[in-house]
Amino acid sequence: MKPSHLDALADVIRVTDSGAIPERAALRAILDAPEDLDAPLFEAAGRALDRSSGRAVYLRGIVEFCNACRKDCLYCGVRRGNTRVARYAIPFDEIVEALEEGYRVGLRSFLLQSGEALGDAHLALVERVLRWMKARWGDSVRPVLSIGELPRETFRQLREAGGGRYLLRIETSDPELYARLHPQDAHHRFEARVQALHDLRDTGWQVGTGVLIGVPWQTPDHLAGDLLFMRRFDIDMCGMGPYIEHHDTPLWEAREQVPDVATRVRWTLRMIALQRLLLPDTNVSATTALQTIHPQGLELGLGAGANVFMPNLTPWKYRESYDLYEGKVRVADSLDSVLERMSARCAALGRPVALGDPGDPVRFRTRQPPP
């Protein structure tokens, strides 16, 4: 008789092929299954990718332009309460210099990332950079923001200034687990995070979200719920990475509850593959966290169904102050040689790197025409 986890996989493939939503129990069984499930799962995700988004790998150059944050997420190394971090905000001229360098090597999608800072100067800087990109490169470049929960009107304003995509991770779709990972105050409400995702969709952004994988107290059932949350929200992009402990955070105290590295990697890869099956035409990242926790994280992520990775364009002198987690990979090398090496690693998997292409998720393009 076939083991039940292979039955669960066959069931999920059949259901997702028809465009329907699988049962939570089947997703949970796959996440919790023994190793022999990985090969057929990743093959199915690869077929779904071939049929929808294609084999190309898209690059998103990231500039971590400010590490100030008003929040205190219990897992994050740049949380407001961590006084050991040197705070910085990169001036406009240095940001655009980093973007120009990315453009020179063929990047056409740029992620501006910061902590959640609501000050006028911060938002004015973001708007200025967006307007500069629009004037400089028009529609050939897709600006991406990841700067936290903002008022709906600010989302609208930044969209009008030229913003195209927005990444706002839900981190976990389970309100109780969310409450254990965040302080209990007005700045960290699960409902506000969900509302912000709706506001982004309503104001015309390509919307990305994602979750932390392997946090204390998390189970395969929570992760199955996360997949269903993202499917029902009908996201355009997904960035999910393994949780990596940081000793200057409150969650460090719960480190005994963290699954071992092998489990975190396995769950992450299975989440990527299942996300690919549930929403085949979305963009899914092989995240820096996955590449940090495993030396072959890029290859493993792409092999499980990811189609995006993010070269770091942040000027070197700021990088060590953007440690969301410990051991974050930093490659002290020119952008040209980083790209050359990464492209060779992708090519070895039969996955060409798409330079000169902003790589809009097919899901968004088919839902509504690009602006």
Q: Is 79 in the site for ligand SF4 (CB under 6 A)?
A: yes
- Residue 181 CB, nearest approach to ligand SF4 (Å): 10
- Residue 268 CB, nearest approach to ligand SF4 (Å): 18
- Which is closer to ligand SF4, CB of 76 or CB of 237? 76
- Which is closer to ligand SF4, CB of 148 or CB of 250? 148
- How many positions of this chain bind ligand SF4 (CB under 6 A)? 9
Question: Locate tokens 């189970």: which residue?
Answer: 219
Q: What is the Cα–Cα distance from 321 to 65, expressed in whole angstroms?
A: 11
Residue 93 CB coordination number (10 Å): 8
C-alpha pair distances (Å), 95 with each of 114, 164, 229: 12, 18, 34
- Residue 147 CB, nearest approach to ligand SF4 (Å): 9
Of 250, 249, 177, 176, nearest to 213 by C-alpha is 177
Contact 238, 146 (CB under 8 A): no
Q: Is 71 in the site for ligand SF4 (CB under 6 A)?
A: yes
C-alpha pair distances (Å), 105 with each of 214, 287, 339, 355: 35, 21, 8, 8
Q: Is 214 in the site for ligand SF4 (CB under 6 A)?
A: no
Question: Starting at the edge strand that comes first in sequence, how are the strands of the sheet with 165-167 ordered?
Answer: 61-66, 109-114, 142-146, 165-167, 206-209, 237-238, 283-284
For ligand SF4, which stretch binds (CB under 6 A), given 66-74, 97-105, 216-224, 358-366?
66-74
Q: Is 73 in the site for ligand SF4 (CB under 6 A)?
A: yes
For ligand SF4, which stretch binds (CB under 6 A), given 70-78, 152-160, 190-198, 336-344?
70-78
Which residues, 88 to 117, sit near ligand SF4 by CB under 6 A?
Answer: 115-116
- Residue 127 CB, nearest approach to ligand SF4 (Å): 20
- Residue 68 CB, nearest approach to ligand SF4 (Å): 9
Q: What is the DSSP letter of 353?
A: B
For ligand SF4, which stretch binds (CB under 6 A), given 42-50, 76-84, 130-138, 213-221?
76-84
- Residue 180 CB, nearest approach to ligand SF4 (Å): 14
Q: What is the Cα–Cα distance from 232 to 23, expressed in whole angstroms?
A: 13
Q: What is the Cα–Cα distance from 197 to 155, expressed in whole angstroms?
A: 10
84 burial level (CB within 10 Å; 0-12, 13-18, 19+):
exposed
Of 69, 63, 4, 15, nearest to 37 by C-alpha is 4
- Which is closer to ligand SF4, CB of 76 or CB of 353? 76
C-alpha 104, offset from chain centre: 24
- Residue 362 CB, nearest approach to ligand SF4 (Å): 28
Which residues, 120 to 159, sit near ligand SF4 by CB under 6 A?
Answer: 148
For ligand SF4, which stretch binds (CB under 6 A), given 68-76, 196-204, 274-282, 336-344?
68-76
- Residue 148 CB, nearest approach to ligand SF4 (Å): 5
Q: Is 246 in the site for ligand SF4 (CB under 6 A)?
A: no
Of 66, 59, 161, nearest to 110 by C-alpha is 59
For ligand SF4, which stretch binds (CB under 6 A), given 4-12, 69-77, 193-201, 358-366?
69-77
In what helix (H) or strand (E) does residue 261 lie, and over which residues does it extend?
helix 261-278
- Which is closer to ligand SF4, CB of 69 or CB of 354? 69
- Residue 155 CB, nearest approach to ligand SF4 (Å): 16
Residue 81, C-beta contacts closer than 8 angstroms, at least 6 positions apart? 72
Q: Which one of residues 44, 48, 49, 76 is an interface residue with ligand SF4 (CB under 6 A)? A: 76
Of 283, 311, 299, 306, nearest to 104 by C-alpha is 311
Collapsed DSSP state (helix, strand, coil) of residue 45: helix
- Residue 81 CB, nearest approach to ligand SF4 (Å): 9
Collapsed DSSP state (helix, strand, coil) of residue 195: helix
Which residues, 8 to 37, sit near ligand SF4 by CB under 6 A?
Answer: none
Residues that bind ligand SF4 (CB under 6 A): 69, 71, 73, 76, 78-79, 115-116, 148
